[in-house]
Amino acid sequence: MYKYIFKRVLDFSLSLLALVLLSPVFALVAVLVRCRLGSPILFKQKRPGKNNQIFTMYKFRTMTDQTDENGNLLPDSVRLTKFGKFLRSTSLDELPELWNIVKGDMSIVGPRPLLVEYLPRYNEEQIHRHDVRPGLTGWAQVNGRNAISWEEKFRLDVQYVHRITLRKDIQILWMTVRNVLKREGISSQTSETMEVFQGTLSYEQAAQPVEAQHISA
């Protein structure tokens, strides 16, 4: 009952209340982003939601638009400023996603919405992370966030999808607050942001000898 009815009611009520109570914080962060990073203030990107439905996700921007001599964007490590790192480490850049929750695109707790281009790269188990609305925070976020591998992250996402309860959501919210205060798991082990997900072998492919995998590829 909670998963199908009460979770959405709580998502809408709590996110709407948060938008009102945090409006001064929104205004302050918006002004700082405009002054330090320029416009636009918001970063907007298409992301897949429940049942792979595409929606527009909103965040405060954390990077500059610096390009090389050919007009190509510079690497994330160059464009991510000290101020941008602060927004990410405190999760202040995520605040506009509260509007996505009010609209019904997202939930407070659920698997994080990733890039649309990843959809065909999931194996048959990983794609189940899209059986529910994506979340502002999730089970993978409080168990390593960007510091764990994609495979471990998706395993935790699917584990959550199969075990959604009010108690679990409260636990995740509490752990989220703790991790934000500690600023844990913001970056991966090898990059300022998370590396691109290239795909995972299916169960059948993983069980094949290495030679057979090369042939099928």
Q: pLDDT of 138-169, one tens digit each?
A: 999 999 877 889 999 999 999 999 999 999 99
Q: State the total domains in the chain.
A: 1
pTM for the whole structure: 0.84
Q: pLDDT of 45-77, one tens digit each?
A: 999 999 999 999 999 999 988 887 887 888 877
Q: pLDDT of 81-140, one tens digit each?
A: 899 999 998 889 999 999 999 999 999 999 999 999 999 999 999 999 999 999 999 999
For the chain, the C-alpha Rg in angstroms (whole number) is 18
Residue 32 belongs to what domain range?
2-216
How far apart CA 62 and CA 76 sit, in angstroms, is 10
DSSP H helices in the chain: 7-21, 23-37, 76-79, 82-89, 97-103, 150-161, 166-182, 203-207, 210-216
Tell how strand 135-137 and strand 107-109 pair up.
parallel
pLDDT value for 1? 82
